[in-house]
Structure 1
Amino acid sequence: MSTLADQVTALMREVAAREIMPRFRALAESDIEEKSKGDLVTVADRASERWLTPRLEALVSGSHVLGEEAAAADPALLDRLADDRALWTVDPVDGTGNFVAGRETFGVMIALTERGETTHAWIYLPVTDEVAVAERGAGAFWMAGGSTARMASGRAAPAAADQSASFYVRFMPDDWKGPIERHAGGIGRKESNLCSAFDYTSVARGRHDFVTYYRMLPWDHAPGTLILREAGGVVRDIETGLDYAPRTLKGPHLVARDEDSWEQTAARIRALRAHL
C-alpha cells in the first residue's frame, strides 16, 4: 500500500482513540442532538471531523475537506464537489444512530476524490480495529488482527432464498420503492445495519449480496464504492445504468458483489416497476 494509505489509516485510528471510543456507551443526553427528524449528531461526530480536517488537508497540497457535519451546517459546501481540486470526503462517525444506541455497527469513512472521481478510500471499524483500504486500479485490502489480505467480493450471489441483502427505501420515490419492496419479499435474509461502513465492507468481503440506496451523499458512498469496485463489485444506478460517481447525489442505486448479479437483480426490479 502507498504511504498515503498508511498515513490516513493512522489518522483514523488516532481520531477514534481520541474522540470516538472514549464516548462510546458514555454519551450524556447533552452530547446528542437531532439535525433533522431521525438524523442524530453527537459531540464525537463533530470533534472527529474537526480533528481530521486540517490533518487531511495537510497530506495533499491544495486539497480541501467536505465533511458531513460541516455540510449539515452549511449545505453550500456541497458545491465543492464540482471543483476539480483534490477533495476529501469525511464521515466522522457513520452509523451515528447505532453509536448512540451502544451498538457496535459504526465506522469512520474517508475518500479522496480528484476531478470528480474517487482515487483512494478508507473505512475503519473502531470496535474491532479493522480497516478496508483501496486505491483506484491497485485493489482493495482488509487489515485485521495484524494481517493484510486482498479483498474479493466472491462468487455470484446465490438464489434469492439464500441471499442476504439490505433494502433502504426511506428516500425512494414511490415508483421505485414499491418494486424494490416487492423484490425484497423474495430474499431469504434481510438486514438493516443502518451503516454504510458495514454494508459496503460486508459486500466487498463476500458476506452480503445486495444493498439498495437512493440518497447518495458522497461521504456515505464514495469510500465504499471504490473499495467494492476494487474487490470486484458494482455500484450503479438502476434506472440509468450509470456507475456511481461522487457528484451523483441521488438515484435508485443497487450495490452488488459482481456484474452478473447486478444485471440480473436490476432487471427483476425494472420488470416489477414496469408492471406498476
Structure 2
Amino acid sequence: MSFYYIFQNGKIILKEDGAIPEAAEIDELRQHFVNAGCVDKEDKDGDRWAELEMTAKLPDGFDACERRGCWTAVGEEQFFRIGKAFHYMDWQRLHKYCGKCGAQNVFDPGEGAMKCLACGELFYPVISPAIIVCVEKEGKILLGHGVNFPAGRYSVLAGFVEPGESLEECVAREVYEESRIRVKNIKYFTSQPWPFPRSLMLGFIAEWESGDICPDTTEVTDVRWFAPHEIPEYYRGVSISAKLIEDFIKRHTKY
C-alpha cells in the first residue's frame, strides 16, 4: 500500500474522513497533475507526491486542508510525511529554471537534484535552518507575541540562522534582537523539520544573563516573563515550540 500526498495551492488533499488517499484512489486526479515524484528516493515504488493544477476541481470525497492544522486528522507521523512530500514538491516547483543561465531544469534522480539542461548546474533541495529557544530566569520563561499571532497567543522566540553564524551565535543574536536580553549557558534541546515552507527547527534552552525586556516591535509586539501557572495560550500539538514550553512547565511545576 502506498500513499499519494497531493498538494493544491499549498494545501494537502485528504479524503473526507481525514485519511491520506492511496494510489488506487486518485485516478480522477491524475489527469490534473502538474508534476509528481517519490517521497523517499530509496523507495521508487513507495509513497508519491503530486502537484495538482491550481484550478482543478476535486472529485466527491476529497477536501483541500490546511497543512499546519492537519495533524489532528492524520496524526504526528503522517503530519511530518506530508511535510517531507511538500518540501520536495515545493522545491521542484520553484526550481523549474536555472538560476545561472535561465534554461530549463529537469529532475536528476541519480543526483537527487534539479539539473540544468543547458549548463549542467545542479540545484539541491533548499533547507533553511532556524533556532527556537526557551530562555529561563528564576523559574520563569521568556515568551513573545509575534506580529502575526492571534490575540493572546505567545511563544518562545525563534529566528533564521544567518550566513557565517553558529547555532549558538544565532540564539544569542535572535534573543537580543527581539527582547534586548543577553543569554548564557545555551544548550541543545531537540530538532524537527518544519515545512512552512522549508525550515529545520533547532531547539535550545538558555539562561538569562543580563538586560531588561525591550521588544523589537517589527517582529514581536510584546515580550514577557511567565511563571508556569501564568503561561498564556500557545500553539499546541506537534510543534517544537510546544515541546519547549511543556518541558519548561514540567521541570518547574511541583506536584
TM bracket, shorter-chain basis: under 0.3
Question: Larger % of helix: which?
Answer: 1
- TM-score (normalizing by structure 2): 0.27
Question: Larger % of strand: which?
Answer: 2
- TM-score (normalizing by structure 1): 0.25
